[in-house]
Amino acid sequence: MLVIPLPASPHDGKLDSFGCHYGRERNDYHCHEGVFKGGSFDSKIQMIRLLKAQFLDLGRPWPYGEITEEDITSTHPEKI
């Protein structure tokens, strides 16, 4: 199988504490650092739910406390 990397365009989007941010061009929430480096999600809440599930599946306590959807989602993506 031949894998050809797609060119990445640099941007100055600020990353959140998870190493991710919303991207205007791709209209998604994607990660440049951290556990999901290279991952892309429809929303931040989708990524948080997956991260929490991974912690719990490994038998580890969720270290972030209770996070409500209002805390981590927005109708307006984070400013880049």
Give the model confidence (pLDDT) of 24-56 as tens digits.
888 999 999 999 999 999 999 999 999 999 999
Q: Please state, for a pLDDT cut of 90, what percent of the chain lies above it.
A: 51
Using the predicted structure, report yes or no on whether residue 3 has a pLDDT greater than 60: no
- d(C-alpha 38, C-alpha 42), whole Å: 14
Between 76 and 43, the higher pLDDT residue: 43
- d(C-alpha 48, C-alpha 38), whole Å: 15
User: According to the model, what pLDDT value does residue 62 have?
Assistant: 87
- d(C-alpha 52, C-alpha 30), whole Å: 17
User: According to the model, what pLDDT value does residue 12 have?
Assistant: 58
Helix, strand counts (H, E) of the chain? 2, 3
- d(C-alpha 15, C-alpha 7), whole Å: 20
User: According to the model, what pLDDT value does residue 30 have?
Assistant: 95
